[in-house]
Amino acid sequence: MQDTHAGQQTRERILGCAEELFGRKGYDAVSVADIAQACDISTALIYYHYTDKESLLRALIDLASEVFDVHTRAAVEGEGTPRERIERFIAEWLETAGSHGSLLRILVRPLTDPEGPLAGELLARIAYTIEGLASVIAEGIEAGEFAPVDPRLAAESLLGLVNTRAAADVLNVPPRDSRDESVRFVTHLFFSGIAR
Amino acid sequence: MQDTHAGQQTRERILGCAEELFGRKGYDAVSVADIAQACDISTALIYYHYTDKESLLRALIDLASEVFDVHTRAAVEGEGTPRERIERFIAEWLETAGSHGSLLRILVRPLTDPEGPLAGELLARIAYTIEGLASVIAEGIEAGEFAPVDPRLAAESLLGLVNTRAAADVLNVPPRDSRDESVRFVTHLFFSGIAR
DNA sequence: TACAATTGACTGAACGTTCAGTCAGGACCA
DNA sequence: TGGTCCTGACTGAACGTTCAGTCAATTGTA
């Protein structure tokens, strides 16, 4: 296995099918044969390009990190007040969740499956995001922009809130709310709550 | 198979082991043999008391509904203002989540695994809770106690918030926060946000 | 009271199926 | 011709499930 154009292309196709299937049915419920069939190739070819089933998941975790960590880094290092940066984070995270729902579900699975495959790696990725958000919140508290809450608690809640909103597509038979409405709602709830 | 004391006892033991294992590793990752081993019985005995593996999960869903729906009903039909009832809901839900973490994880799994086993039944249970909370929130809006938000959006967020907090035990290496602190935090965040 | 019949509770061994992973070899292109 | 890409056929292990049969206790009968 070396780096030819055709090989690269096949690898991406395999990864794409694995992303879709893992995201929809979950790692355990998807067989290598399922992925091969979705790609219209043989199972052996998957093993030619990837050492085993788990390495497929690992590649997807790397991909998910690439896609989502951008927003975490932007929140931590970006310009603007903490509140502005968190508002941007909410909007960007929800947008990416909309276009990469499978990746997000792969990423957050250990929250409901703490002993699942590669749970350690996945939880580390989540912890990275939470720590980033917590630092932004802590900054906002110090600046007097936020109430003196526990930054970690707030960061976990923010991520939970935004992921809940992303996952709610599953529940809603009608695609009732536009993305913008979700962003506005989460933002308002996180900063101001629903009380009058 | 009829209803003897010994039989009843065995059924409960099987269900207890299944709850613990399904909650920790997930339905797919647990074999019937695993459950049998945990109970120190034969796999055949499980099939003597339950028709198949899925019926075990179904029994656990019924149990989870019994345990958690109490709080939903109390919020919908209970006494006090909408805000008081939601505050009680948060406290009670988190307490039950603390003592029945496995059941809660079984219950919310379809949010990250929308095509998993019995996802339909599970999503229906979740929808029931959300609808109940939404009706309480709508009541609060009508009474002028809450801002005029979308009740469903708010209900989904509330449940997401409270389940995120419950699941955070998984992430936190130290059992940092007491339950009371979690309750206070979620309550404050939901009603007032973190802004100053 | 004694013994036979019946029951519920339970097991060990096996069933067919599906799984992740292997391997020898063919096809295509430089 | 040599290396990359790919396949069909295959394997051992694990899976959910079934089944024939054991055992202790209960019930029916004389």
- Confidence at residue B177, expressed as pLDDT on a 0 to 100 scale: 64
Bases of chain C below 7 A from a protein C-beta are 7-14, 18-24
Quick check: A28 and B112 in contact, CB under 8 A? no
Name the more confident of A160 and B196.
A160
Q: Quick: pLDDT tens for B70-79.
A: 999 999 999 9
Grade residue B154 by pLDDT with cuts at 50, 70 and 90.
very high
CB proximity list for B166: less than 8 A, separation 6 or greater? B93, B94, B97, B98, B101, B104
Which residue from B114, B144, B167 is facing A111, i.e. has the nearest CB? B167
Reduced to 3 states (helix: H, G, I; strand: E, B; else coil), residue A146 is strand
Residue nearest to nucleotide C11 (CA to C1'): B42
Q: Find the CB nearest B147 among A156, A165, A194.
A: A194
Q: Which nucleotide has the least CA–C1' distance to B31?
A: D15
In DSSP terms, B146 is beta-bridged to A195
* Mean pLDDT of the A21-28 span: 94
B121/A contact by beta carbon, under 8 A? no
For residue range A95-117, what is the model confidence (pLDDT) as tens digits?
A: 999 999 999 999 999 988 889 99
Mean confidence (pLDDT) of chain B: 93
- A63: closest CA among A98, A103, A10? A103
The answer to whether the CB atoms of A114 and B170 lie below 8 A apart is yes
Could you read off the pLDDT of A149-188 as tens digits, one per residue? 999 999 999 999 999 999 987 667 556 567 899 999 999 9
Q: Side-chain half-sphere of B77: how many Cα atoms within 13 Å?
A: 6
Q: What is the mean pLDDT of residues B133-160?
A: 97
- pLDDT number for residue B6: 72
Q: Chain A partners of B160 at a C-beta cutoff of 8 Å?
A: 160-161, 163-165, 167-168
What predicted TM-score, i.e. pTM, was given to this entire model? 0.92
Question: From the CA of A112, how many Å to the C1' of C10?
Answer: 35
